[in-house]
Amino acid sequence: MRYVDLTIRPERGWFHRFDEVLTDEPNVREEAIHQMNLLDDGSAVVLSEYAGDTERLREMADAHFDHAIAWQLSETGENALMFAHVDPSDIVAGLLHIPQRYGIVIDYPMVFRRDGAVEVTIVGEEGDIRDAIPEIPGGVRANVERTGEYQPQLERLFTELTPRQQEILEIAIEMGYYEEPRESTYEDLANELDCTATTVGEHLRKIEGTVLHTICP
């Protein structure tokens, strides 16, 4: 089973007034889509996460969410979740038909980057994925970022580390470096790994950078 990480971006926006207004709103941003399904009648249900001013988000939805059949907003921690039943644009409907047509699945969440692109992971047989990608609707720019044998997200993150980084991270965890309070130091890890404390520090900073840039793009 294979996966492909894509970034997708509509050339003229997602073609709904609410999305256009949201793009220009400095106090609210869309963080992720946690689920999105096309229904038999052609409508869609979407579970989205937003950061920022929840009351401003509610005002914007009241004024501009014209394509929503129904929606409900709830706060969760610092962010807000919106469940919406919508009439999707032609582009969104076209994208949602692809998994049904080719027997592939989306590995949610779909994450919105600060530049407006959406990160999407699709999973399936290699031939099905290869046939599906050219069916992305016109008007959507799609770039393949990476591909490989599918693993759950956290396992896939670990495989992005080099073998030496994986070894150092495993030893650091085993020796309690990331416990609170810490149970080991760079010097302790260096003795176990037969290297210098400076080398341990350099590796751990690179490991932490890789992890943080992946979960906070």
Give the residue from 110, 111, 50 showing the smallest Cα distance to 75.
50
- 123 and 181 both lie in a single domain: no
CB 8 within 8 A of CB 136: yes
Cα dihedral: 34, 38, 40, 43 (round 10)? 100
Q: Average the pLDDT over each of 45-49, 102-106, 149-153, 170-174 and give the range with the smallest value.
A: 149-153
Q: Is the pLDDT of residue 191 over 90?
A: yes
Mean per-residue pLDDT of the chain: 87
Identify whether 99 is preceded by a cis peptide bond (ω within 30 of 0).
Answer: no
Structure tokens at 59: 């005002």
Same domain, residue pair 134 and 167: no
Residue 92 has which token pair?
């969104």
In the prediction, which pLDDT does 209 show? 83
* Residue where a domain terminates, one of 127, 150, 173: 150
Are residues 28 and 116 both part of a single domain?
yes
Report the CATH number that the domain containing residue 165 is assigned in CATH: 1.10.10
Task: Please tell me whether residues 66 and 102 are part of one structural domain.
Answer: yes
pLDDT in tens, 81-123: 999 999 988 888 889 999 989 999 998 888 888 777 898 999 9
Confidence check: pLDDT of 197 > 60: yes
Note down the domain range covering 205. 154-215
d(CA 129, CA 51): 32
* Number of folded domains that form the chain: 2
pLDDT at 21 (0 to 100): 83
Q: What is the pLDDT of residue 67?
A: 84
**What does the pLDDT look like over 57-69, one tens digit per residue?**
999 999 988 889 9
Note the pTM of the prediction, 2 decimals. Answer: 0.69
